[in-house]
Structure 1
Amino acid sequence: MTRPLTEPAPTSVHHSAVAVTLDGISHTYKSRAGHVPALRGVTHTFVRGTFTAVMGPSGSGKSTLLQVAAGLDRPTQGEVRLGDVALGGLSQTQLTKLRRTSMAFVFQAYNLLDALTAFENVALPARLAGRRVDKAAVREALRQVGLEEKTKRRPPELSGGQQQRVAIARALHLQPEVLFADEPTGALDRSSGRRVLELLREASDVRGQTVVMVTHDPLAASYAHSTLFLEDGQIVGRLERADATQIAATMSELER
């Protein structure tokens, strides 16, 4: 497909061993009470092929960090890079194209279209990106999440756990560089939530994708390779390969 000369394709994101870089990121929201800082000079690198959980008390800046890292919200100060590409230098059109080819998103709200089947929901990002739908790849993505028998079901015919797995299949099937997840297990029962977390870990361990997940649940965070802790818009701690008890203890210290 020919690209308009005014909107060149962003530079390839494959050249760096670092998937996402946050360099001195600050972000301030405007409210009736004035300017509210959500992030304060955050610097961090997410290495390619790792699974990172982001935790912190309510209002600590977790979701803002995810939104800024994904280019969904521009920082007030600092620079975000996806691989070697600086997001601040891209137009909204270029950002949209980059997100469709190099990023995927999983949210607590499944964001599926009720009028489409599971198969059609998984194929939707390829259609939006103007790419040919690889039917075998869509079926394989649904097989990976255990829904190969549900391809013709629509979201209202599926359980909450099944709908979230469709959302993950949709996120995985184009093999994005980075997968961002915001409370992906928040609305699920323990069994369904565990399967979703296993799938996110597999995306990192087996397929080499980078996963960044915001969660409030220490058990969910224990599936990640590392856990970042935010407080008042700043990174205040990090645990590597910690279990749920260690993560919960650190959270308790922050919430005192």
Structure 2
Amino acid sequence: MEFIKTTEQDSKYNHLEKMSVSELLTNINKEDQTVPLAVSKVISQIENLVTEIVSRMKNGGRLFYIGAGTSGRLGIVDASECPPTFGVPHELVVGLIAGGDTAIRKAVEFAEDDTQQGWKDLQEHKISENDTVIGIAASGTTPYVISALKQCNTHNILTGCITCNHNSPLSKVSQHPIEVIVGAEFVTGSSRMKAGTAQKLVLNMISTAVMIQLGKVKGNKMVDMQLSNHKLVERGVKMIMAELQVSVEVAKDLLNKYKNVRKAISSYDKKNK
């Protein structure tokens, strides 16, 4: 059966250049509202993958995202947010993009078509059986990503994918495929739009659920966050005040002493028992 990319199908809208700004924005927003509904249909697939990731991470495993273009950049964004948000090492969640770091800002021609480099990029991080690799490709046809996952499978490394086409070549080489079918884009083929939004939502869900399962959140607070700016320090002080029912002065002193919200709270609890 021929593989049909819904991400490449003609937009439901035509003569975009004749639309007013208001019409353009309204119609883009109308399409965007369909994305969370598409994601809701694949929660069970996301759940299965998250469960497997958590199990491996508890045994010292890491999580890798690998993609090209927009998909690669979205993986890098999600990975780069984990250390400041959850206080984990930078090596725990890693984003890789076809063409290397240069491609984060500027497209590297034909990098996504390289069938060798994806596995080489993973090997640079000494990828192992405890790790998980999630391939991200809206089309589900990116050679850089597909070939990397094939190699992972042969080396007994857990694989998953996030794609926006059904039964794609990428899904077929993924042990845990997540297929968010968002349909045709507002601008035909512009998968940075709905497809990109869907990928971002799923990445948020995966990393956040994994980190919560690993104990990186207390109640609903980011108690392990890095205190890297004044806003986050202020947030940390408020967390300590609320949790311990202490004054702002005491909370500040605790945070200055322990440099971490969780440590400040647990140390105060122990001292005052």
Normalised by the length of structure 1, the TM-score is 0.32
Normalised by the length of structure 2, the TM-score is 0.31
Quick one: higher RCO (CA 8 Å, sep 6+), 1 or 2? 1
Q: Decide which structure has greater strand share.
A: 1
